[in-house]
Amino acid sequence: MKVLVTGGCGFIGSHLCDFLVKNKMEVVILDDLSTGSLSNLATFDELTLINANILDESARKEALQGVGIVFHLAAKTSVVESIKDPETTHEINLRGTWLIAEDAIKAGVKRMVFASSAAIYGDQRQSVLDEYLVPNPLSPYGASKAASENCLCALASCSQMDAVSLRFFNVYGPRQQPWSPYAGVIPKFVLRLLKGQPPIIRGDGEQTRDFVYVADIVRALTSVAGRKDRFSGETYNVGSGKATSVNTLVKTLSNLIGVDKDPLYEEGCQGEVRHSLADISCLMLKVGVMPKTKLEDGLKDTIAWIATNQGL
């Protein structure tokens, strides 16, 4: 089968493309390389890359020719940047999703799998977040993901293309660049500790996150894509199902790296939630997918990759 991966040169997208190629899929990538990198693609010779922005109409139509499934991962992913420049986040994330979905329907695509985010939840009264909660995003980024889910649900209800949204929690793993302004806390902490520097924590460190390894994200994406039953805009959380405080994360990384540095604390970030933990029961029961990677095992792989690629 021929599939399209938007944002396929990025951190998650490149891992997905590797998996698809290994499983004999014909893979097309649409990526403007604004945050992704060709160095992420170990199987580049077996891929078709269209280097263009998601808003480029001719590029979208070229990318969709003969495609059966679209994995839509292209997005502006920084909460902080979305607050500074909400218009660009809206254009790429929401309008880009609408345009690729419309063109996919016209091209006869059967299914779109959308990379959504736990950021759509915002702060909720309950600590464990399930898909039945009303979205309450605290940033333009979260709002763009919530609106994109609604758009896909509407399009799926009035077309032959079905759609499903996967709400990623805090994804980590190899290829997540520590120097990028869009990087998560794990690669930033790892790089500083490898250099013998204290990690910098924004806030008091007692905020909790659900850290999920990238291989588990790929497993969820591909499992959903391969289901025979129809999706009509459903949403599923993808996480580990376990909460870890930032302070605990730093201690774990320090032990794995063998560096004892007290963290430095700075003011927290605007638009970020206090606690985030996925209820993953729907994904497990309805799709048959559950996370397999323990946090320490995933962190070891991540540390090894960063150490090698940063020459440390």
pLDDT of residue 132: 96
pLDDT of residue 271 exceeding 80, the answer is no
CA-nearest of 298, 303, 177 to 240 is 298
Query: Does residue 191 contact residue 178 with C-beta atoms inside 8 Å?
Result: yes
Helix/strand/coil percentages in the chain, nearest 5: 40, 20, 40
**Token pair of 226 as six digits:** 């391969």
Percent of the chain having pLDDT more than 90? Answer: 88
Tell whether the model's pLDDT for residue 222 goes beyond 90: yes
Average pLDDT (40-53) is 89
Range of 275's domain?
173-210+241-309
> Would you tell me the crossing angle of helices 246-257 and 295-309 to the nearest 10 degrees?
60
255: Cβ–Cβ under 8 A, 6 or more apart, which residues? none
CATH number (domain holding residue 119): 3.40.50.720
Same domain, 269 and 227: no
Q: Please check whether residues 234 and 195 belong to one and the same domain.
A: no
Of 236, 234, 275, nearest in space to 128 by CA:
275
Mean pLDDT value of segment 128-142: 96
CATH of the domain at 248: 3.90.25.10
Domain total of the chain: 2
Statement: residue 143 has pLDDT above 70? yes
**What pLDDT, on a 0 to 100 scale, did the predictor assign at position 181?**
59
d(CA 107, CA 4): 12
Residue with tokens 């929401």: 94
Check pLDDT > 80 for residue 269.
no
Average pLDDT over residues 55-73: 98
User: Within this chain, do residues 224 and 288 fall inside the same structural domain, yes or no?
Assistant: no
Residue 93 has pLDDT above 70, yes or no: yes
Instruction: Note the pLDDT tens digit of each residue in 287-307.
Output: 999 999 999 999 999 999 999
The catalytic residue among 121, 141, 172, 236 is: 141
- Which residues, other chains included, contact 50 with Cβ-Cβ below 8 Å and sequence gap of 6+? 28, 29, 30, 31, 59, 62, 63
Are 73 and 191 part of one and the same domain? no
Same domain for 190 and 77: no
Element counts in the chain: helices (H) and strands (E): 11, 13
Q: What is the mean pLDDT of the chain?
A: 94
Average of pLDDT values for 112-127?
A: 94
Q: Quick one: pLDDT at residue 180?
A: 67
Asked if residue 189 lies in contact with residue 249, where contact means CB atoms within 8 angstroms, the answer is: yes
Is the same domain home to 192 and 134? no
Told to judge if 141 belongs to the known catalytic residues of this protein, a careful annotator would answer yes
Give 195 or 179, the one with higher predicted confidence: 195
Tell me: do 204 and 228 sit in the same domain. Answer: no
Residue 123: the pLDDT is 87
Q: What is the pLDDT of residue 182?
A: 58
